[in-house]
Structure 1
Amino acid sequence: MHYLPLSSMSLASACFSQAAFSAYPHHLLGKPMHADERILAIGPDLDAPRLSVLTPFHRYDPSALFERLRGAPCDVEFILIDDGSASASLLAAVIAAAERVSFSVRLIVWEKNRGRAAARNRLIAEARGEYVLFLDADMIPDSPHFLKTWLGVLATQRPVVAFGGLSVRHAPPQPETALHRNLFACSDCAPARRRMLRPAQSTASANLAVRRDFMRAHPFDARFSGWGFEDTEWALRAAQHVSILHIDNPATHAGLDDVVTLMRKSAEAGRNFARLAREHPRQVRRFAAYRAAVTLRFAPVRQTLRRIAAWLAADEAGIAPMPLRRTALKLYRATHFAENLA
């Protein structure tokens, strides 16, 4: 998920106090699962929704997602979790957006940031639909019939796990995010027929539909903290029990990052990649990223290679061709993976 910077983070504790919710007494629900948790209900209540759309967010406003799904079927519920943003202004914006639509919304707010796996697991516990659909806050469904397509697939094909695919269709080209857009388009945006060749490795936690009972029996591994690979680990584990269906019903990843953020996340992901390799050694050995990391694990010039790769990926002079920048970022990422495998 893409994070946006917020000012006045020193007000984190004050923002979450009960006073922050005093304007919404008609929305507050009881029975929180954590002491630092509040739950708000907005719109009609559904006893037995067909689908629960689950959206975690952290310092990112999901209002645009609401607008895109404004015409959602009446038997779909939306559950969001604010994973420790601690921003009264963001909370107000999300509630205002939810009040402008006609569907059922529940908003869980955490004072503390617990991470993406824990947030998704909390959403699963709150869901009431037969199926859950994970959509990150920075996703924009490509088709106006996005949810209807999902409901049709779930009703006719009855998959346990299904992935709809990703795109950059609604992510406008911008110089500062050009590398991420190109990398994402080349690595993550593939049609279903190609994704089916590596069904687990090609599955992400955004635009992922799962039968709720299976998801509760096989939650995300909360030991994966920080950025990266908790969804890959889950997909590899799920594939040991069921087949993963891939369909062409993509959503755009609109929250693209600049180069500095990409490199920071690559460094953070090293620890999770090492955990993934320990948990699923047979499958991960086939990953190109793993083979590159193993090659670099004992390389005496690894730090030098990292600096060169970072310089090429950043391309401050604006002269490096995009394929070279993309390769350089992958090399930079591999050096951090190697460091954690060592």
Structure 2
Amino acid sequence: MSAAERTLSIGPHARQTPRLSVLTPFHKHDPSPLLKALRGAPDGVEFVLLDDGSGSAHLLADVAHAAEALAAPVRIIVWDRNQGRAAGRNRLIAEARAEYVLFLDADMIPDAANFLAIWLGFIDWQRPYVAFGGLSLRQAAATRETALHHGLFARSDCKPAHLRERAPAQSVATANLLVRRDFLAAHPFDNGFVGWGFEDVDWALSAAQHAPIAHIDNSATHAGLDDVDVLMRKCREAGPNFARLAAKHPRQVARFAAHRTARALKLAPQWLRGVFAWLARDPMGAAPMPVRCAALKLYRASLYAEHLP
């Protein structure tokens, strides 16, 4: 059953078709810092946000206030209940008006002051089907609670374009992704991915069969780092989605390190998972960060193993 929705229109009305639609879904996470960072956007940019069932009037009021300060056309779609990341992005695609859309997650902060201008220039120069700008931690300080996520993300996700190009589809995330809207209309996200994880990897692996994926260095900081409890919850939620990904793309996913590790752990005793979790949490404060990161990856792979045939 589809969620009931309403739409808030904020700011000036676009006098002509925008050149770029910035699309941001959010669920109980305030995208106001992102909107603040995007003030002074170039002409021809519209912003479309989706409140995916947050159910908070206070949060929605804060987002609307931040949207007003953009002085650009903004629409906020509000769903009465959560529909998931894939469905939310498909709804944003349908609402977008520009030839190109830029997915920016609610917890991202652009690293360059001219971040949107760089994307617009790349559109004019290359006319890409798909392009990924990259992720960073330049503006994200590691706290004691988020140190593990900071360490893991720095090692796995913060890579320059020339390294991402070695595995262009596998190196894509919808946190900072530019796509032609007509290409998205022909190749939408799979709504079968619910909960957390892998809907963007699935989309990228499918998209790469139809168009090249470009990579540029126009990064945004992942400012919404999680503590260990949240990381482990997301690992548990991602298991069914990882299995769906592997079933849809068996040849590609078989090359993923996470898949090989999950296969190796299928016959491992259950108590090993507790050891991995204990090392990742590091209650004694003695484990080096590379050890904690490796332990979390093994914990995650042991959960994926449960859902693989």
Per the normalisation by structure 2, the TM-score is 0.98
2:25 corresponds in structure 1 to 56
SS of residue in 1 equivalent to 2:145: helix
Which amino acid in the other structure matches residue 10 of structure 2? I
CA separation in 2, counterparts of 1:243 and 1:97? Answer: 36
1:20 corresponds in structure 2 to none
Please give the residue correspondences for 1:196-275 in structure 2 after superposition, counting only pairs within 5 Å. 196-275=165-244
Give yes or no for the alignment of 1:334 onto 2:301. Answer: yes
Give the superposition deviation at 1:101: 2.1
SS of residue in 1 equivalent to 2:51: strand
Please give the residue correspondences for 1:61-210 in structure 2 after superposition, counting only pairs within 5 Å. 61-210=30-179
Give the superposition deviation at 1:137: 0.6
SS of residue in 2 equivalent to 1:175: coil
1:39 corresponds in structure 2 to 7
RMSD of Structure 2 on Structure 1 (CA): 1.1
CA separation in 1, counterparts of 2:142 and 2:231? Answer: 16
Query: Where in structure 1 are there 5+ consecutive unaligned residues?
Result: 1-33
Give the superposition deviation at 1:94: 0.8
1:23 corresponds in structure 2 to none
Summarize deviations over 1:45-73 as a string: whole Å, max 9, x none: 22300000000000011111111000101
CA separation in 1, counterparts of 2:201 and 2:33? Answer: 27
CA separation in 2, counterparts of 1:94 and 1:196? Answer: 35
Moved more, 77-86 or 98-107: 98-107
CA separation in 1, counterparts of 2:45 and 2:70? Answer: 12
Q: Report sequence identity in percent.
A: 66
Give the superposition deviation at 1:35: 6.2
Confirm or deny: 8 A CA contact 2:3 2:83 kept in the other structure: no
1:309 corresponds in structure 2 to 276
2:253 corresponds in structure 1 to 284
Query: Where in structure 2 are there 5+ consecutive unaligned residues?
Result: none
Give the superposition deviation at 1:298: 2.3
Summarize deviations over 1:159-204 as a string: whole Å, max 9, x none: 0000000001111121100000110010001000000000000000
Which amino acid in the other structure matches residue 122 of structure 1? R
Give yes or no for the alignment of 1:325 onto 2:284. Answer: no
Per the normalisation by structure 1, the TM-score is 0.89
Q: How many residues align?
A: 308
Which amino acid in the other structure matches residue 226 of structure 1? G
Summarize deviations over 1:87-116 as a string: whole Å, max 9, x none: 111111111111122111000000010000
Which amino acid in the other structure matches residue 46 of structure 2? E
Runs of 4+ aligned structure 1 residues displaced above 4 Å come to none
